[in-house]
Structure 1
Amino acid sequence: MPPITSPTFVHRLRERARSEPGSPAYVFLQNGEEESARWTVGELDERARAVAVALDEGESLRALLLYPPGLDFVAAFFGCLYAGVIAVPSYPPAPSRPGRGQPRLQAILADCAPSVVLTTAALAPRIAALQGEMPALARCRVIVTDELPDGLGAEWREREARPEENAFLQYTSGSTSDPKGVMVSQGNLAHNQEVIREACGHDARSTFVSWLPIYHDMGLIGGLLQPLWVGAACVLMAPVAFLQRPVRWLQAIARYRAHTSGAPDFAYALCARKVTPEQLAGVDLSSWR
């Protein structure tokens, strides 16, 4: 495959949306098994443009992305890139476990001072409740991206993305201290994607499967963004779907004939402990490289 010379990911997605709008981009497996959403490159571009129109506040803005597992995060992330808004991916507040993750969220809010929160209708009530507890969150405008009107993307005024402008703010896990943010530029992101492509030999035939959290760098950079960069399809599932039943990961690789699917060491150990020979009957992993 020849080098991909797009200077930014915005250029890359726009090029693909114009030349191959019907190519598959992302599939999401509800519960790790059933397809609940499937987007083409053109559909992703349209949704990203709609998010960009809803933002419409310029490149100094920082947007906190609070999303459950699913494809809405993808549209929000690229919508930020389209708008010149700095995306700040973060774990969403869990409605079933109100206190979990709040200290991390408060630390991120204090550090980056976002002006807007992007989320879904399902999480909006929880975020509204947290705004009563967190002044920094209360100052944020909330945009529910899965309720944006159809056709809004047509109003987008295309801007020229520059390699030197900031694309997103990546936070560390914060497991031993407050999370620390690292700013990644448009040029950094494009260069990194091309280095990964060259090192791994990825191309449009390299279907990906990933259950990794999209708020961390491995899941975001390698699992979510790399397939779109190289022109491949990507199949996603929630981390909990894998943790509850590890064989779902292997079954998805076999079902979609995935070439690439990575994970930390513990995931392979978990499969070795939990996946039975009976569950592996008919699971063909020969496509996995």
Structure 2
Amino acid sequence: MNTLPQILLRSFQEVPDRVAVHLLEDDADTPVSFRRLVERAAGFSLALTEAGVRPGEVVVLILQHGEALVASFFGAMMLGAIPSIMPFLTEKLSPEHYRRSLAALVEITRPAAIITYADFAGEVRSAIPPGSSVRAVLLSERIAPALSVDGGGFPGLDRSPAEICLLQHSSGTTGLQKGVALSHEAVLNQIECYARVIGMTAADTVVSWLPLYHDMGLIAGFLMPILRRAPLVLMSPFEWVRAPWKLLRAVSDHHGTLSWLPNFAYNFCATKIRDRELEGIDLSSWRAVINCSEPMRLSSHEAFLRRFNPCGLRPESLATCYAMAENVFAVSQGGIEAPVSVDRVDTRSLIVDRIARPAQEDGDALPMLSAGRPIPNSRVRILDDQRRDLPERHVGEIAIHSDCMLTGYFNRDDLTAKAFHQGWYLTGDLGYLAGGEVYITGRKKDMIIVGGKNIYPQDLEELAGQASGVHPGRVVAFGVFNDQMGTEDVVVVAEAGLADEGERRRIADDIRGRINRGSDVVLRYVKIVEPRWLLKTSSGKIARAANREKYLADDKAERQPSG
């Protein structure tokens, strides 16, 4: 079996002048050939070698979307080092919180080097604890392309397929302490299998705005097209948020065929893009727009299709996928060879009985979008709380087994041991099987997903707990799905003394400000409640799911007309 840098080098040797990636930055379209990509990657590899980095050591990349990030990622691999991309500091995120996040990553991952920009190096160095593993902070602007690449002299070309090739971290302090370690073998098994499922060839063009620190962006929107020699058009997620129409313009201009979007992006595009921004846009080449990484909603697909069908978007282009970094990317895929299945289930049966019974004609129905069938070499089971297999249509925890699973959580044997049961990875997601297809109903774990981004509630609870007047340990954070936005809103409920309304507003504003400054989360709702409002588990922990249900029940009661 090959390794990732071996495949990249083969493209350099066989099709050096073919464009590997088009980088859309500002209003410029910069084509990067395989020759340019490998020469730049080799330059980073040599710079890391000169800095004393050895094969098998971790290199953290703190760079925005662009040629330096793409090249340094492969450059670390050419050395045999393990690249890990960290989200870049945004305007919404306070530098203090960012420094804490970086310090947490350094403590657990123990990287040998960090690559960043000259004007950001001071911020990086200030976050590195004294005596840490970091021996060098390299400046991307000062690293020149290699003068020649002869195919030899790069230790990464001799790595075993079973060795770790990359780390993927989720955002948030807790996520940065949990790096998913993936081997060359696992990544290539996934790419080979998934490309076959979606019918991907070198004639396809992938258009993506997704962040490369997320599995959807890293694998589907970066590694897969480059390693399969399918043209990639890559734009910055910051640019997409500012001007979502540019994604559609890129699809139109480059005849894009494949894109992956989190569910919220369907709603975001449908509501934010104006008519005049659609002039001249042709989406007829888009053969698959794949919904992934969030709870998938039929209403989001319908809104997206209504808005962009006049531009040539076809109903059969809307597809779905169940994916996670722990399986490299895809677990299941739907909507490629046939339209996505919609299972209309009885709402009460699903919520109360945890059984997805088909709804009666006149009953209260909940439309569930199928995530498709498991991809070849990936198996799915549905387990009850005692980890026994459940029958079809019974809701339980999803467990997976495949030839592309994670090696483990990097330097976290404790988390790795908890994540597996008899060789099966326990996803923490809830769902059911029907007709051989996977349906996702929610999360056993308490993670909140906003705009395709994982948010750990304990991070927000820690920040909210620092607000003056909040009772220690009496805070809960959870997500509530917003149908209009197609993603979750973040809610924080905190206990405080029996203060007047003005004091409660002050505490709520304090919590909102701390979370907005201390994370890149925009807090939508804060509720200040009296002591003993929050529910606890039998072990004394705050019960997030139970408190979420209590909050929703109270909210519904408050909106009921009186009398």
SS at match of 2:103: helix
Whole-Å Cα distance in 1 between the matches of residues 43 and 224 of structure 2? 23
Conserved? CA contact 2:169–2:175, under 8 Å: no
Conserved? CA contact 1:91–1:215, under 8 Å: yes
Whole-Å Cα distance in 2 between the matches of residues 266 and 217 of structure 1? 17
SS at match of 1:278: helix
Partner of 1:55: 48
More displaced 10-residue stretch of structure 1: 154-163 or 84-93: 154-163
Whole-Å Cα distance in 2 between the matches of residues 247 and 211 of structure 1? 11
Partner of 1:3: none
Whole-Å Cα distance in 2 between the matches of residues 253 and 195 of structure 1? 25
Q: Which runs of 5+ in 2 are unaligned?
A: 288-563
1:213 aligns with 2:208: no
SS at match of 1:135: coil
AA aligned to 1:201 is G
Whole-Å Cα distance in 1 between the matches of residues 126 and 282 of structure 2? 46
Alignment deviations for residues 177-198 of structure 1 (CA, whole Å, 9 cap, x no partner)? 6641111111111111112211
Superposed displacement of residue 157, structure 1: 0.6
Give the root-mean-square deviation of aligned CA atoms. Answer: 2.3
Whole-Å Cα distance in 2 between the matches of residues 178 and 45 of structure 1? 29
Conserved? CA contact 2:21–2:32, under 8 Å: yes
From the two aligned structures, give the one with the greater helix fraction.
Answer: 1
Conserved? CA contact 2:106–2:133, under 8 Å: no
Evaluate the alpha carbon distance shift between residue 186 and residue 176 of structure 1 in structure 2; reply closer, same or farther with a 3 A threshold.
Answer: closer
Q: Which has the higher contact order (CA 8 A, sep 6+)?
A: 1
Partner of 2:100: 103
Aligned positions of 1:225-244 closer than 5 A = 225-244=223-242
Alignment deviations for residues 207-253 of structure 1 (CA, whole Å, 9 cap, x no partner)? 11111111111111110111112111111111111111211111111
Alignment deviations for residues 7-40 of structure 1 (CA, whole Å, 9 cap, x no partner)? 2211211111100000001121113x322x3210
Superposed displacement of residue 175, structure 1: 7.4
Whole-Å Cα distance in 1 between the matches of residues 145 and 166 of structure 2? 26
Whole-Å Cα distance in 2 between the matches of residues 145 and 204 of structure 1? 31
Equivalent residue for 1:64, pick from 43, 60, 64: 60
Whole-Å Cα distance in 2 between the matches of residues 136 and 288 of structure 1? 51
Aligned positions of 1:36-51 closer than 5 A = 37-51=30-44
Quick check: which has more Rg, 1 or 2? 2
Evaluate the alpha carbon distance shift between residue 128 and residue 153 of structure 1 in structure 2; reply closer, same or farther with a 3 A threshold.
Answer: farther
Partner of 2:80: 84
1:73 aligns with 2:69: yes
Between the aligned residues of both structures, percent identity stands at 30
Aligned length: 280
Whole-Å Cα distance in 1 between the matches of residues 175 and 145 of structure 2? 42
Whole-Å Cα distance in 2 between the matches of residues 284 and 108 of structure 1? 43
Conserved? CA contact 2:121–2:139, under 8 Å: yes
Whole-Å Cα distance in 1 between the matches of residues 12 and 187 of structure 2? 19
Conserved? CA contact 2:104–2:173, under 8 Å: no
SS at match of 1:76: helix
AA aligned to 2:34 is V
Partner of 1:115: 112
Superposed displacement of residue 137, structure 1: 6.3
Alignment deviations for residues 255-289 of structure 1 (CA, whole Å, 9 cap, x no partner)? 11111111101011001111122221210001111
